[in-house]
Amino acid sequence: MATISLVETREQPAWMPAPASFYGQPEPAHDSFGRRINYLRVSLTDRCNFRCVYCMPEHGAHFAPREELLRDDELLRVIAVAARVGFEKIRLTGGEPTIRRNLVELVEAIAHTPGIREVSMTTNALRLAQQADALKAAGLKRVNISIDSLNADKFRMMTRGGDLQRVWAGIEAAERVGFGPLKMNAVVVRGLNDDEVCDLARLTIDRPWQMRFIEMMPLMGVGDLADASVVASSEIIARLESVFGPLEFVGWFGSDPARTYRIKDGQGTLGFISSVSEPFCATCNRMRLTADGKLHLCLLRDNELDLRGALRAGASDEDIEALVREAVFLKPWGHGLPDGVKPTLRGMSELGG
């Protein structure tokens, strides 16, 4: 029987049945390096109501035609099969997940999928104030919220139009309904918000939040900016320590990408996600499902496996399960940034972080 080939272009081969060896494997799935892969980040849409400078190019961002995006029934079918393979945690992302039609119904269905233990979401929170109650009732457990600046003008500039006041209302709604402890994400870009890391970190002194500083990654469309403007975690830590004194190391837990520290006596924590300067591929437990139905095997590599083609060609659940297992098995060890290998196919807004 022919095997499915992993491709590194948008051109997908016609769907073919997977090899028999991928059927009926015992759960949960492990990749060829023995890592247990149980966390699926699901991009609900490649569209976004922001245009963050580190995420999308100002012009020429790629958006898939609507008919190429997974429908609700297709998405739920893939998640149900992924759960059979051993995926337990689902994070909804995008683009901006809160602009997906039927979001609340999708969350409810995913939360009730046998095998799924937790549904969380990464959002810019612009629409969260209106949606938080319904999402909580539907079974959403936690949210990570992107906030790169506490200055309304700079926030608008970095997001190309975002309204900080509405985002803050979304953050307050997230707290009110109990999506905590909140994790806040800031991508630090030299010359834009690197002068604000202390203000952002200060949020954790009297709030139980985790403020996470993310090194900018060279995804498609922002590679030049990332090369020129990435700020290493070590530099951020040095800047914070010059103001707050030595940070207390809290831990680096399991597959969490963030190394956590605390400002002395702070209620919350600081997280450092050092994908560029100190990769953490050895503990990676993640794969991504793009809004157009591809399993993307490593954030910073182009390898993908087409599930949408299989779904629409009439594949059975067993066939889809075999494809998911194959994708897990073939997950690359890690990214190739130290060797100059950069992703060329997709921007972060298509992958969801």
Site residues, ligand SAM (CB under 6 A):
48, 54-55, 93-94, 96, 122-124, 146, 185, 187, 214, 216-217, 219, 222, 226, 348-349, 352-353
Shorter beta-carbon distance to ligand SAM: residue 132 or 311: 132
Shorter beta-carbon distance to ligand SAM: residue 280 or 329: 280
Shorter beta-carbon distance to ligand SAM: residue 276 or 297: 276
In whole angstroms, how close is the CB of 125 to ligand SAM at the nearest point?
8
Shorter beta-carbon distance to ligand SAM: residue 123 or 131: 123
Of 76, 77, 81, 78, nearest in space to 29 by CA? 81
CB 123 within 8 A of CB 144: yes
Beta-carbon neighbour count of residue 93 at 10 Å?
25
In whole angstroms, how close is the CB of 146 to ligand SAM at the nearest point?
4
Instruction: Report DSSP letters for 22-42, one per residue.
Output: GTTPPSSPB-TTS-B--EEEE
Identify the burial level of 329 via C-beta atoms within 10 angstroms of its C-beta, where 0-12 means exposed, 13-18 middle and 19 or more buried: middle
In whole angstroms, how close is the CB of 295 to ligand SAM at the nearest point?
18
In whole angstroms, how close is the CB of 175 to ligand SAM at the nearest point?
17
Contact partners, residue 101, CB within 8 Å, separation at least 6: none
Shorter beta-carbon distance to ligand SAM: residue 123 or 244: 123
Beta-carbon neighbour count of residue 225 at 10 Å?
17
In whole angstroms, how close is the CB of 337 to ligand SAM at the nearest point?
12
Q: Which residue is nearest to ligand SAM (CB)?
A: 353
Shorter beta-carbon distance to ligand SAM: residue 29 or 124: 124
**Greatest C-alpha distance within the chain:** 63
Rounded CA separation 240/237 (Å): 5
In whole angstroms, how close is the CB of 152 to ligand SAM at the nearest point?
17
Would strands 304-306 and 259-262 be described as parallel, antiparallel, or unpaired? Answer: unpaired
